[in-house]
Amino acid sequence: MKRPRVKALAFILWIGGFVLPAQVAWAMDAVEDLEKIKQAAETYLHELYKNAPYPVKVRIDALDPRLRLASCGQSLDVETKDATRRQGRLFLSIKCAGPKPWRIFVPVTLESNIDVVKTRRVIVRGKIIEPDDLQLVKMSLSQLPASYYSDLRGVVGQQARRLIDVDRVVTNMYLKPPYLIKQGQRVTVIASSNGIKVQSAGVALKSAEKGQIVSVRNTASGRIIEGTAIHPGVVEVKP
């Protein structure tokens, strides 16, 4: 009854003798330099963001020094599914396609500070915004609402749709195009027919933005006509 136990013990020892040399060989294999992995990540991120419209700061999380990956012997492949991300966290996939392939994911923290248009003072509703009403301030992308402006030229000359408080990030919701025609303004009316243009003078009966329909009283006849505001002080009437 004892002989089967001896055979079983011999079998276990044989298996143990097979596994142990394999473990020793793994321990003696060349391992990938973690600094090389980090450099591959840095090179990829530099190429990814070198043409970004604003600087992107990157911080690569430190790799676990206990990480032991087989030496690749060739260039590492780096990619990410979040190539358009400029703020927050993304993960880089770094892999070796060599004889002993492996793949790891490396976390990266991104931060972008850009110029943002903010109000320098309170802007009342209906005011045409001037350069002195605004300021450029560096802000993190993570703090910004949608449809912000990073260039004063996109805001100057626009009309405040409503009151804008001081030190407020200017967005589309606060703006509307300025009036090309103001109520009571003397305007030029251009009427075209069969290639012939006729100009007359009139007075706008309401304000209008570009492309809006505006009623005009003809100065000579007193007749009220409707046309489209096309330029400051100019209304076009089509047959």
Whether residue 64 has pLDDT greater than 50: yes
113-176 and 179-237 in the same fold? no
How many angstroms separate the first and last alpha carbons of the chain? Answer: 115
All structural domains of the chain with their residue ranges: 34-111, 113-176, 179-237
> Mind listing the pLDDT tens digit for each residue in 130-156?
999 999 999 988 888 888 999 999 999
Q: Check if CATH label 3.90.1210.10 holds for domain 113-176.
A: yes
pTM given for the model = 0.58
CB-CB contact of 111 with 60 (8 Å): no
CB-CB contact of 152 with 127 (8 Å): no
> Mind listing the pLDDT tens digit for each residue in 176-232?
988 899 999 999 999 987 778 899 999 999 999 889 999 999 999 999 999 999 999
Fold exhibited by the domain 179-237: SH3 type barrels. (2.30.30)
CB-CB contact of 189 with 200 (8 Å): yes
Report which residue type is found at 112. Answer: S
